[in-house]
Structure 1
Amino acid sequence: MRKTLLLLVPVLLLGACTWGITLNDAGKQVRTAWNGDVSQCRDLGKVTVSVMERVGPVDRNDIKVRDELEVMARNEAAKMGADTVKPLAEPVDGEQAWGAYQCGSARPASTSRPTTQPAPAASGGVQTYPISGG
C-alpha cells in the first residue's frame, strides 16, 4: 500500500500542473494569428506569459506547454481589449511573448494553427471500400 502511494504522488503532482489554466469567456473571443499578418490591426501592446516547463527533474510535454501559453496569452490580451494575439517569439524556459492587437472586421484570414496537408492521391490510385460487418 505504501509503495503504491509513493508511486501515485508524483503522477498526481505532474497532473496538477495544468489545473486552473483554462480559456475564460473573454479569452474565447480572442483569435490567434498563426499566419502572422496583423498589418490591418491596431497594436495594443505586448503580453508575456509563463508556465512551468519542468516539474523537478521531469520536462513537461512541449505541446502542452505551448497550448497553455496560448491560453494564458489570449486571456491576458482580452483584458487589454484585444481580439487577436500573435506569438512574437518561440517559448524559452516556459515563457513566451505575444503581441496583442485589435483587428475588428480586419481579422486575419487564417486564425487556426498551421497544419500539414496530406498529399493528394495520384490519379488512377487506389480506391477504398467500406467493410460491412456480418
Structure 2
Amino acid sequence: MRALILTALIASTAACTWVPIESGGKSVRVLPAGPVAPGCVAKGEIVVSVKSKVGFYNRNPLRVQEELETLARNEAPSAGANAIQASAPPADGSQRFSAWQCR
C-alpha cells in the first residue's frame, strides 16, 4: 500500500511545473540556436539548475528543460539582458545560457 501511495504521489508531481515566470522574465526573449543578430551585446552567462529526479523517478526531460529556460529568463534582467540563448543542452538538471542585450 505504501509503495502505491508513493508511486501515485511521484506521478502526480511529475507533470507539475515548479518554476513560475516572474514579471521581469516575461519580457525576456529566448533566441534560437545559431548566430545572434547584429545589435545584440553579450552580457555574460547564466547557469541554472532544477531537480531532474524525484527519488528514483526521472522527471520528464521536456518539463525540466522548460523549467531551466524559465529560471534563465527570470535571471536575465539582473544580468542586464533582455534575451537568452542556450549554450548547451540540459545535463543532469543543469543548463548554461548566454545572456544578451538586444535592440
TM-score (norm 1): 0.66
Root-mean-square deviation (Å): 2.1
Q: Distance in 1 between matches of 2:71 and 2:96?
A: 11
Between 1 and 2, higher relative CO (CA 8 Å, sep ≥ 6) is seen in: 2
Aligned pairs for 1:38-53 within 5 A: 38-40=36-38, 41-53=40-52
User: 1:38·1:103 contact (CA, 8 Å) conserved in 2?
Assistant: no
- Residue 29 of structure 2 corresponds to 31
- Report 1:88-103 matches (<5 A): 88-103=87-102
Q: Which residue of 1 aligns with 2:70?
A: 71
More strand, by proportion: 2
Structure 2's unaligned 5+ residue stretches are: none
Deviation at 1:11, TM superposition (A): 3.3
Equivalences, count: 101
Match of 2:20 among 19, 22, 33: 22
- The 3 A distance-change label for structure 1 pair 58 and 20 is closer
Q: Is the 8 A contact 1:21 1:72 kept in 2?
A: yes
Which of 1 and 2 has greater Rg?
1
Identity of aligned residues (%): 37
User: Which has the larger helix fraction?
Assistant: 2
**Structure 2 match to 1:8:** 5
Letter in 1 for 2:21: L
TM-score (norm 2): 0.84
Moved more, 15-24 or 25-34: 15-24
Q: Distance in 1 between matches of 2:46 and 2:100?
A: 11
Deviation track 1:88-127 (CA, whole Å, cap 9, x = no partner) reads 00111111000000002xxxxxxxxxxxxxxxxxxxxxxx
